[in-house]
Amino acid sequence: MPPTSASVGLRSERGPILLSLMLATALVALDATIIATASSTIASDLGSFEQVPWLFSAYLLAQAVSTPLAGRLSDIFGRKRLILAGVALFFVGSIVCGAAWSMGALIAGRVIQGLGAGTVMPVSQTIAADIYTLEERAKAQGYIASVWAISSVLGPTLGGAFSEFLSWRWIFLVNIPLCAIAAWMIVRRYQESPLEGGRDAIDVRGSLLLTGGSVLLLVGLLEGGSTWAWDSPASIAVLGVGAVLAAVFVAHALRAAHPIVDLRLLRRRVVGVSTAISLVVGMVVLGLTTYVPIYAQGVLGYGPLIAGFALAAMTLGWPLSASNSGRLYLRLGFRVTAIIGSVLVVAGTAATLALGEATPLIATAGATFVVGIGMGLTAVPTLVAAQSSVAHTTRGAVTGVNVFARSLGSALGVAACGAIVNSRVELGADGTPEGEGLMGALHLVFVFVTVAAVVLAVLAALMPADRHAARERREAQAAA
């Protein structure tokens, strides 16, 4: 049972637990951005420049695949064991990366880090849902979301500073003390209630099918149009086999007694719609995250640091609204709050359609800030609604599927936007788009993102009214 204290701050009774969750999340958030500015230095030191994209893809794949598995396993073995396992994996991965003697070893370390990241993210959000009441949850999620905002600004700066003044290896070695502190705080401060009843059997077959299908589909989406053509035999084979494995997994999950990911939960409207919203959120966010900096640099001519300001506005707006969204959804309900947020996302993405070669950078930042405000009012309330609609014994699985959907949406967004840009412009020596057609290509990207935002608004309108969500919650609790 959660403590009765109404305070959510870091100085409250549960403050040390929240701080440990923020620190564990910081490990994941920093490593998602800190390596970007050091990739050229790493390539020159280790060689194999053509393998640099896999420093990012390997991490993303491992994180995406482990996320739904970790969420479900936390329901079986407990949150504390799983988050400590995630921190331990990140610890080992950081050591391997810091000591890497070749690009292959570094990529292997990134895979281990990704497995840790995919465990830490859903379990930390599930723990927050466990220890905080419905009224407090949005503010707690806002604290965790603020870590991503800070990391988006600090990550590239630290990566460049370590590479220039120390060594790129410190990008990974700095995680070692952070992992130790996070694990120590979780062990000391987080006391989990004993699991009730017997443990469900682990769905080994479902785990293998989900892992194989997810890896192949994500590899196909990430590499299609770049490593190989979309209509090439390699692309067709990878995506085809991945689709078959995914279909077999779905059939297995729908009939298994205790599937590793219970897809039957998606039949509950609040869970299904929330998961679909998370997928579209991933598409919108990655589309903007990838191409707004390219617009600021390639079209407006700003350097990387100034160009990052336009994107930082979104990552600052998100936690700002997320931490205050609880006041709205307690007063207006989850559905109305999500609709308000999605309308703001549509407004912000629509503003990007007016961007041109002479647009002030402040206008770009303003558009992304509005998107960030809207995301905080959409992503967090819909996740909280889904978590609140199920019993404690399936909350981890619901959170894991929700986070996995965002990862899948990110891959879909990157693939779609990349296909749009690659069909219109040529890539420069550094792998970034350039040329006279760049603005036209980016305009099409912003059109795609705006259409995705409209879909997001439609999905928000499909969220069930709170009275229906409350009935689903009572049914889930009764079934448990």
Question: DSSP assignment of 141-184, as one string?
Answer: HHHHHHHHHHHHHHHHHHHHHHHHHS-TTHHHHTHHHHHHHHHH
Single-letter amino acid code for the residue at 2: P
CB contact burial 121-149 (16+ within 10 A = b; e otherwise): bbbbbbbbbbbbeeebbbbbbbbbbbbbb
Rounded distance between C-alpha atoms, residue 428 and residue 249, angstroms: 40
Dihedral, CA atoms, 322, 327, 328, 331, nearest 10 degrees? Answer: 160
- CA–CA distance from 103 to each of 39, 108, 163 (Å)? 11, 9, 16
Instruction: Name the fold adopted by 262-480.
Output: Growth Hormone; Chain: A; (1.20.1250)
Question: Is domain 13-189 classified as CATH 2.40.50.140?
Answer: no
287: number of Cβ within 10 Å: 28
The reported pLDDT for the residue numbered 106 is 85
Structure tokens at 75: 């329901």
CA distance 394 to 389: 10
Tokens of 189: 């401060």
Q: Is 258 exposed, middle or buried (0-12, 13-18, 19+ CB in 10 A)?
A: middle
Task: Note the Cα 332 to chain centre separation in Å.
Answer: 27
Mean pLDDT in runs of 10 for the chain (480 residues)?
48 74 80 66 67 71 80 79 90 89 84 88 81 71 70 66 74 85 84 61 78 80 70 85 88 79 80 90 84 79 70 76 78 89 94 87 89 89 83 75 81 77 64 65 90 94 69 48
Check for a shared fold between 13-189 and 262-480. yes
Do the Cβ atoms of 364 and 302 come closer than 8 Å?
no
Domain spans, the chain:
13-189, 203-259, 262-480
Angle formed by the axes of helices 103-131 and 392-422, nearest 10°: 140
Nearest CA to 180 among 307, 108, 94? Answer: 94
Residues sharing a CB contact under 8 Å with residue 131, sequence separation 6 or more, in sequence order = 2, 3, 14, 17
pLDDT confidence of residue 437: 73
Question: What's the pLDDT at 456?
Answer: 94
* CB 193 within 8 Å of CB 3: no
Q: Is residue 127 a contact partner of residue 17, using CB atoms and an 8 Å limit?
A: yes
Contact 401, 118 (CB under 8 A): no
Q: Given this model, what pLDDT does residue 477 score?
A: 47
